[in-house]
Amino acid sequence: MPSNLDPHVLVIFGASGDLAQRKLVPAVFELFRGGYLPEKFALLGASRTDFTDEAFRNKVIFENEHFKSDGAKEEEIKAFSEKLFYQDLATYDGEKDIKALADRLKKLDKELGVGRNYIFYLSTPPKLYSTIPAALAKAGLNNNQDAWARLIVEKPFGYNEQSAIKLNREIQEHFPENTIYRIDHYLGKETVQNLLVTRFANGFFEPLWNRNYVQSVQITAAETVGVGSRGGYYDESGAMRDMVQNHLLQVLAHVAMEPPIRADAPSIRNEKLKLFQSLRPITKKDVKTHVVRGQYTEGITSEGKEVAYRDSPGVPEKSKTETYVAMKFFIDNWRWAGVPFFVRTGKCLPLKLTEVVITFKNPPQAIFAEYDDYAMSCDNQLIIRIQPDEGMALEFGMKVPGEGFRVKNVDMDFFYRDLTKNDVPEAYTRLLLDCMKGEPTLYARGDSVEAAWAFVDPILEAWEKDEVPLYSYPAGSWGPLQADALWSGGLGNGWRNPTSSLTDRKHYTKQ
């Protein structure tokens, strides 16, 4: 089927960098292979490195170890490479440079008929996120008559609420909000989108999805890797800015928001904003009891021996940056009043996995309690595995055959791999396609990014003032033990620390 996308040019600023090579160009190739790209399409890389078109094609395609696609034919790869071009810049925002870029775009249109619709992808260091749009506007590239111009902005979007507000204002001066696509690759994950389908395409979850039946909600995003060579970036960021403010709060919004009136961008984004606005602020005084931060020391992970975070390249010797965060908070609305939410993420943990666990309340009377270990073994939980082993498991108690009423937990499970034989598309592939279509639902809106920062800012401020301890944990462990105390006061069984499989349920940090 021919593509129904408008002809356009995707301009990637920072095209010589890691993201372009590892994620963006391979994602565009998948769209090309799938027949999604319009016939009239070009990808124009732009950065300061001195490449010719050919050298750029070699770097991001022919010599790119990340550019592999099962069953891709040589002719396909060659045909794709012919759609790639490169413009070198002395600076990213100089008048002369952007004029040269504009001339190149005109030339591409003249030679290939790719038209004047543009996507500008900011894959540069964040300090350029406001100056490039201003330079594009000066050259009139933000506002082509009879054509569209869209801007994709990478993370991090701001450093705190104030800087995010400032960045929004600066970009919005040149690009209207409906042309700004703030990327959060977690929103491109099929399983994160499936949270909405699970909740809103099925009748039976909704009556249970509230304070009357839910005891607690926990979200874990664990990584086995350390900071590797990203120490310079990571030490300025830390787990709260790198994972919680964006990815994990977006997952939370999908789990907890009210039903949108339609499955379109304004409806879904309005509900997410409302959800962020309903988060009960963790005031500075509460940070100690609601949030635990940690930093890994040396240890053994599934990746091998890991040096301490402070000994990683680019990390200062006395760094106080957190590589682990665990937090407890509440959502002040009718649906969730009184239900504790727990979120944690960390580097150098035992497993790479992201999952959401909804724990339902026990029945009002434990009539089988006299039969041995009922109280310990019966958990009513819905475990939603975002990655890997994507799927869901519903756990509940059943009678063990034989005398009496011994109850044992069993599970019903579903694995994404049983739903489709096709590979689940990479997040960047889906997100780029959506931007090409002009579909912003899976991108973050400016106001909700600000609201997410407003929630995490007091915590970051308390940390900066060193008002709460930074605990250490050995690489390869589940993080500081102090995180278990967040569950004290009868809030539940604690963190689910699975081994590997979705249906492994024997590892709770009991209180």
Residues 279-298 that bind ligand LXAUTJHC (CB under 6 A): none
For residue 345, the surrounding DSSP H or E stretch is strand 341-346
Q: Which is nearer to ligand NDP, 18 or 206 (CB)?
A: 18
Which residues, numbered 351-390, are part of the site for ligand LXAUTJHC (CB under 6 A)? 354
Q: Binding to ligand NDP (CB under 6 A): which residues in 90-149?
A: 123-126
CB nearer ligand LXAUTJHC, residue 212 or residue 229: 229
Residue whose CB is less far from ligand LXAUTJHC, 141 or 386: 386
Look at residue 48 and give the partner it binds from ligand LXAUTJHC, ligand NDP, none, a contact being a CB closer than 5 to 8 Å depending on partner kind.
Answer: ligand NDP
Contact 425, 435 (CB under 8 A): no
Beta bridge partners of 329: 341
Out of 49, 362, 409, 503, the residue judged to bind ligand NDP by CB under 6 A: 49
Bond from prior residue into 38 cis (ω within 30 degrees of 0): no
Residue in 247, 254, 290, 507 annotated catalytic: 247
User: Cβ of residue 326: shortest distance to ligand LXAUTJHC, in angstroms?
Assistant: 17
Was 285 annotated as part of a binding site? Answer: no
What is the C-alpha to C-alpha distance for residues 38 and 114, in angstroms, rounded to an integer?
Answer: 9
Residue 223 is labelled as binding a ligand: yes
Cα–Cα distance, 164 to 241 (Å, whole number): 12
Tell whether 361 is in a known binding site. Answer: no
Q: Are 344 and 376 in contact (CB under 8 A)?
A: no
- 493 near 359, Cβ under 8 Å? yes
Q: Is the peptide bond before 259 cis (omega within 30 degrees of 0)?
A: no
Which one of ligand LXAUTJHC, ligand NDP, none interacts with residue 457, CB within 5 to 8 A by kind?
none
Residue nearest to ligand NDP as judged by C-beta position: 17
Nearer to ligand NDP, 152 or 407 (CB): 152
Instruction: For ligand NDP, give the closer residue by CB, 92 or 329.
Output: 92
- Mark out the alpha helices in 82-160 (DSSP H runs): 95-112, 131-138
Spatial contact of 34 and 67, defined as CB atoms under 8 Å apart? no
Q: Which of 223, 235, 355, 447 binds ligand LXAUTJHC (CB under 6 A)?
A: 223
Amino acid at 357: V
**What minimum distance in Å lies between the beta carbon of 182 and ligand LXAUTJHC?**
13
| Residue 48 is labelled as binding a ligand | yes
The sign one gets for the Cα dihedral 85, 442, 27, 31 is negative
Print burial letters for 70-85: b (CB count within 10 Å at least 16), e (below 16): eeeeeeebeebbebbb
Query: In whole angstroms, what is the distance from residue 510 CA to residue 457 CA?
Result: 30
What are the φ and ψ backbone dihedral angles of 183, each rounded to 5 degrees? -85, 140
Select 161 or 242, whichever has its Cβ closest to ligand LXAUTJHC.
242
Q: Of 349, 315, 199, whose CA–CA distance to 259 is shortest? A: 199
Query: Which of ligand NDP, ligand LXAUTJHC, none sits in contact with 497, Cβ below 5 to 8 A by type?
Result: none
223 binds, among ligand LXAUTJHC, ligand NDP, none (CB under 5 to 8 A by kind): ligand LXAUTJHC
Nearest to 413 by CA among 387, 392, 382, 395: 392
Q: How many helices (H) and strands (E) does the chain have?
A: 15, 17
**108 within 8 A of 121, measured Cβ to Cβ:** no
Instruction: Report CA dihedral (182, 187, 188, 194) to the nearest 10 degrees.
Output: -150
Q: Is 290 annotated as a binding residue?
A: no
73 assigned to a ligand binding site: no
Nearest to 24 by CA among 3, 45, 54, 53: 45
Sites for ligand NDP among residues 145-184 (CB under 6 A):
154-155
Pairing assessment for the beta strands 407-415 and 304-306 based on DSSP bridges: unpaired
Distances (CA, A) of 497 to 357, 484, 502: 11, 11, 11
Q: Which of residues 9-48 bind ligand NDP (CB under 6 A)?
A: 14, 16-19, 47-48
507 is annotated as an active-site residue:
no
* 271 is an interface residue for ligand LXAUTJHC by CB under 6 A: no
Minimum CB–partner distance for residue 267 and ligand LXAUTJHC (Å)? 26
Number of residues that bind ligand LXAUTJHC (CB under 6 A): 3
Question: Which residue's CB is nearer to ligand LXAUTJHC, number 241 or number 290?
Answer: 241
Residue 404 interacts with which of ligand NDP, ligand LXAUTJHC, none, CB < 5 to 8 Å by class: none
Q: Report the alpha-carbon distance of residue 412 to residue 177 in Å, rounded.
A: 43
Give the one entry of ligand NDP, ligand LXAUTJHC, none that residue 154 binds, where binding means its C-beta sits below a cut-off of 5 to 8 angstroms depending on kind. Answer: ligand NDP
What token pair was written down for 334?
Answer: 């009718």
Residue 242 near ligand LXAUTJHC by CB under 6 A? yes
Residues of the shown chain interacting with ligand LXAUTJHC in the complex, contacts defined by CB under 6 A: 223, 242, 354
Residues of the shown chain interacting with ligand NDP in the complex, contacts defined by CB under 6 A: 14, 16-19, 47-49, 123-126, 154-155
Binding residue numbers for substrate: 185, 189, 223, 242, 347, 352
Q: Show which residues are catalytic.
A: 247
Binding residue numbers: 48, 155, 185, 189, 223, 242, 347, 352
